[in-house]
A and B are shown apart, each in its own frame.
Chain A
Amino acid sequence: MAVIDSTAIPRKPTQVNRQARTAWGLATPALALMFLILLVPVVVAAVLSFTNYSLGNSGFDWVGFKNYGRLFTRSTYEKMFIATFSYVVVVVPVSVALGLGAALLVNSLGRFGDVYKTIYFLPVMATLLAMAIVWEFMLHPTIGVINQTLEMACGTVLEVIPFVAKGCADGFPLWLGDKDYAIWVLCFIGIWQGFGFNMVLYLAGLTAVHRELYHAAEMDGAKSAWEWFRLVTWPALGPTTVFVVTISCIRAFQVFDTVEAFWPQGGGPNKSTYVMMFAIFEKGVQQNLIGIGSAITMLFLVFVMFLTLIQRWLVERKVHY
């Protein structure tokens, strides 16, 4: 044994070296691609955010933090932040809660579950741009089906509702053209479009809940559906919830196509729906102000990175058992 050991020891480091070399060799293509298509553009954007570069110009000047300064002083960008955060704060909780509720209901159904699954998932599969046209028709102030339906309530008992009474007297809202309503309509469409996706994620999470835990809960004296949910379902869905919330946040920050479809001329009535993605598009692409566009992009990246870090922290600390 001793003889074998003494010959084996010097051989080991070379073996380790060879293994390490192979590992690096195999990882190189992935690393190269990651640098080229992920890290380099981010660094380029970060550098450009400190300049006044425009596409086609031969050179640029360093402007320091001027672009970032603008973001936090100009009223346009204040509106951008208000619109973006209103959208995120409304859409994320509502679409997560609706997704969970729909998943629980669909899961409790036997045969018709699949039908509901398909129905709720349809908006996710449909192109939002095409759907936006349908919404635009429905929300049209005079010929839209929504306001026409609301008008049917005039002269009935429903007029006790202040909103209906006001609408019957002064006309119903313009929806997409009204600065008080536009952002909420946008939120509504975002929720309508997004909760089906969350439902599918929650349905996947529900299949992982151990059946026997419900029986244990029943034996332990949990009688109502709520007690079962609190004791078994909700804790088991912890990892799913963290994932769903993060994904929903990132998707909410990325909202763009609805805004572009409804208000291609610039962020809705009084810039009330001037969300970050649209601002990046408008500044960086339409107006060719690469510097300011890059600055918004960097800010957007910071938000998303922050969310991802919170998710990592939660996943590692809280929800894994």
Chain B
Amino acid sequence: MAGLSINSITKRFGETEVLRDVTLDIADAEFVSLVGPSGCGKSTLLRIIAGLEDPTGGEIAIDGEAVTGMRAADRNLSMVFQSYALYPHLTVAENIAVPLRMRSLSAGQRLPVIGPFLPGSKDKRAEITAAVKDAAEMLEIGALLDRKPGQLSGGQRQRVALGRALVRSPAAFLLDEPLSNLDAKLRVQTRAEIAQLHRRLNATFIYVTHDQVEAMTMSDRIAVMMDGEILQCDSPSIIYEDPNDIRVAEFIGSPKINILPVELHERTLSLFDKPVGRTAIGAKAGVYQLGLRPEAIHLAKSDPLLTGTVAHVENLGAEVFAQVELAGQTARVTCRAAPAARDQLRLGAEIGLSFDLADALIFDADGKRQRGVEVTLDQPVEAA
């Protein structure tokens, strides 16, 4: 088990820059997710950590030891691939045993017929068999050891791939979208199991996914990547509640965060050219973007800030999400409501929405978070 440090890694494929100056420190036994849309470079970063790809610039160190330029086989890392990459001709037991056989048996001892009879081979083979059995029991695939991968379901293959990764004690586990080939139900179950496995093994996990739910539910820290950069790396709650960048706010959270354009004139905020009776302190005049999570918007009993018609309703049972087409605007706003409000949220119904500006995340026109801005109830100037 070891920590990892990634120091200003860049990667170029010809003219295309896939990673720019990525720096990330991962502590021992930490679970870090690399999350981002496809093509953001997260898989490339993982493969560079693994040693399957060479960085154009920058350094990688495992447990303080520089490994840049060292080949993957020597880095003592385990990887679970998206396609699982199980050896189709080997049984489950043989698949799990491969990393141990390659490392502890000599080339001669691995030979098919005479190998088992060479000196020292018998003891090592017994050790390997025991280790494979332990790993299989931990993942509850003990009954499948004699099957070939072709005879397994997706979930079972996934467990075998995990087994092959954890049968030896690597410095860190690298997981490349391991759940993307599973069906939705199994994905939720396996998600919990991987998180449990992490707690049990107390090992360093680096997990690549495009699914923000996976990242949110499993990680100690999430590194949100976009266009070859890490935009923010923080705990899931900070990433959700206190994002640095509008792209992070938009990527994390489902349904997506609502972004409303606001303008600030002489300390008075106006939304869609309509003053909202609030004052912002600590910001220059100009155009800003207001980020509002669906749960921050509620149905207004009186004096709504926004009005519109219900365009689409998603009833999830425990909660209802309504997409509201704002009056006079093309933009839609998603709001969350309690199931009791379902009657109000009929399609085409005119409703008023309101929100507390304290819940809003304020970004500037370039999408950078404006933290020093304080919004208060409007105090008429002449009254002060």
Give the total of A residues in contact with B, Cβ under 8 Å: 19
Measuring CB to CB, which residues of chain A are less than 8 angstroms from any residue of chain B? 210, 212-213, 215-223, 227, 231-232, 235-236, 238, 321
- Option from B52, B79, B87 in Cβ contact (under 8 Å) with A232: B87
CB distance from B74 to the nearest CB of A (A): 8
Report if B164 contacts A (CB, 8 A).
yes
Contact pick for B164, options A210, A212, A220, CB 8 Å: A220
Mark each residue of chain B from 98 to 114: 1 if its CB lies under 8 Å from any CB of chain A, else 0.
11001100010000000
B360 contacts chain A at the CB level, 8 A cutoff: no
Give A292 to B72 CA distance when docked, in angstroms. 65
A210-B148 in contact given A218-B71, A223-B71, A231-B98 (Cβ < 8 Å): no
Chain A residues near B88 (CB, 8 Å)?
A: 235-236, 321
> Can you give 14 A-B contacts (C-beta < 8 A)?
A212-B81, A215-B47, A215-B50, A215-B81, A216-B81, A216-B86, A216-B87, A217-B98, A221-B73, A223-B74, A231-B87, A231-B98, A321-B89, A321-B149
Contact B73 A222, beta carbon cutoff 8 Å:
yes
10 tightest A-B contacts by CB?
A221-B102, A216-B85, A235-B89, A321-B88, A212-B85, A220-B99, A321-B150, A218-B72, A219-B79, A221-B103
- Given A215-B52, A321-B150, decide whether A220 and B89 contact each other with a Cβ distance below 8 A: no
Q: How far is the CA of A212 from the CA of B148 in the complex (A)?
A: 18
Q: Are A218 and B52 within 8 A (Cβ)? A: yes
The residues in B between 132 and 187 inclusive whose CB is less than 8 angstroms from any CB of A are 148-150, 164
**Closest approach, in angstroms, between the C-beta of B33 and any C-beta of chain A?**
20
A210 contacts which chain B residues (CB < 8 A)?
83, 85
- Asked whether any CB of chain A lies closer than 8 Å to the CB of B78, the reply is yes
Q: Which residue of A lies closest to B102 (CB)?
A: A221
| C-alpha spacing A27/B73, complex, angstroms | 56
Judge if B77 is at the interface, Cβ distance under 8 Å.
yes
Are the CB atoms of A220 and B52 closer together than 8 Å? Answer: no
Residues from chain B with a CB closer than 8 A to the CB of A218 are: 51-52, 71-73
A219 to B88, CA, bound (A): 17
Q: Which residues of A contact B99 (CB under 8 A)?
A: 219-221
Given the interface contacts A215-B52, A236-B88, does A220 sit within 8 Å of B98 by beta carbon?
Answer: yes
Question: How distant is B149 from chain A, measured CB to nearest CB, in Å?
Answer: 7
Q: How far is the CA of A223 from the CA of B106 in the complex (A)?
A: 12
* Binary per-residue interface labels of chain B (208-230) against chain A in the complex, 1 for a CB within 8 Å, 0 otherwise: 00000000000000000000000
Given contacts A218-B52, A222-B73, contact A238 B89 (CB under 8 A): yes
Is B72 a contact of A235 with CB atoms below 8 Å? no
- B52 in contact with A235 (CB, 8 Å): no
Given that A213-B85, A216-B81, A235-B88 are known contacts, is A222 also in contact with B102, CB under 8 Å in the complex? yes
B98: which A residues are within 8 A, CB to CB?
217, 220, 231
Cβ–Cβ < 8 Å partners of B71 in chain A: 218, 223
CA distance A163 to B85 in the complex (A): 52
Contact string against A for B residues 339-359, beta-carbon threshold 8 Å, 1 for contact and 0 otherwise: 000000000000000000000
Q: Which residue of B lies closest to A223 (CB)?
A: B73
A225 to B: closest C-beta gap in Å: 13
Chain B's nearest CB lies how many Å from the CB of A68? 40
**Residues from chain B with Cβ under 8 Å of A227 in the complex:** 102, 107
Interface centre among B79, B89, B90 (most CB of A within 10 A): B89
CA distance A238 to B87 in the complex (A): 13
User: Which partner residue on chain B sits nearest A219 by CB separation?
Assistant: B79
Q: Given A227-B102, A321-B149, are A215 and B85 neighbors across the interface (CB < 8 Å)?
A: yes
Most chain B beta carbons < 10 A, residue from A220, A235, A238, A321: A220
Q: Which residues of A contact B73 (CB under 8 A)?
A: 218-223
Shortest C-beta distance, A261 to chain B (Å), equals 43
B72 to chain A, nearest CB (A): 5
Q: Which residues of A contact B52 (CB under 8 A)?
A: 215, 218-219
**A212 and B72 form a contact (CB under 8 A):** no
Residue of A nearest to B112 (CB): A230
A259 CA to B222 CA in the complex, in Å? 73
B298-311 near A? 1/0 per residue, CB < 8 Å: 00000000000000
Q: Is the CB of B87 within 8 A of A212?
A: no
The 0/1 profile, CB within 8 Å of A marked 1, for residues 59-88 of chain B is: 000000000000111100111011101111
CA distance A116 to B82 in the complex (A): 35
Which of B79, B148, B150 is the most central at the interface, judged by chain A CB atoms within 10 Å of its CB? B79
A280 and B73 CA atoms in complex are apart in Å by: 58
Specify which chain A residues have a CB less than 8 angstroms from the CB of B50 in the assembled complex.
Answer: 215, 219
- In the bound complex, CA of A236 to CA of B72 (Å): 22
- Cβ–Cβ < 8 Å partners of B47 in chain A: 215
* Inter-chain contacts of B82 with A (CB < 8 A): 212
Q: Which B residues touch A217, using CB under 8 A?
A: 98
Shortest Cβ distance from residue A3 to the other chain B in the assembled complex, whole angstroms? 37
Complex CA–CA separation, A218 to B78 (angstroms)? 10
Residue on B nearest A224 in the bound complex, by CB: B107
Chain A residues contacting B89 (CB-CB under 8 Å) are 235-236, 238, 321
B249: min CB distance to chain A, Å:
34
CA A212 – CA B77 in complex, angstroms? 16
Asked if B102 contacts A212 (CB within 8 A), the reply is no
Least Cβ distance of A26 to chain B in Å?
33
Q: How far is the CA of A212 from the CA of B98 in the complex (A)?
A: 15
- Complex Cα gap A159–B88 (Å): 52
CA distance A193 to B122 in the complex (A): 47
Say whether A219 contacts B150, CB under 8 Å.
Answer: no
Give min CB distance, B126 to chain A, whole Å: 20
A220 touches B102 (CB 8 A): yes
Chain B residues closer than 8 Å to A222, beta-carbon distance: 73, 102
Contacts of A238 in B (CB 8 A): 89
> Can you name the residue of chain A whose Cβ is closest to the Cβ of B165?
A219
Nearest-neighbour CB distance to chain B for A307, whole angstroms, equals 23
Cβ of B78 and Cβ of A219 under 8 Å apart?
A: yes
Residues in B306-362 with C-beta less than 8 Å from chain A = none
Given contacts A212-B85, A215-B50, A215-B85, 8 further A-B contacts (CB under 8 A): A213-B87, A216-B85, A216-B87, A219-B50, A219-B79, A220-B99, A221-B73, A321-B88
- Chain B residues positioned under 8 Å from A215 (CB to CB): 47, 50, 52, 72, 79, 81, 85
How far apart are the CA atoms of A219 and B76 in the complex, in Å?
8
Q: How far is the CA of A219 from the CA of B107 in the complex (A)?
A: 17
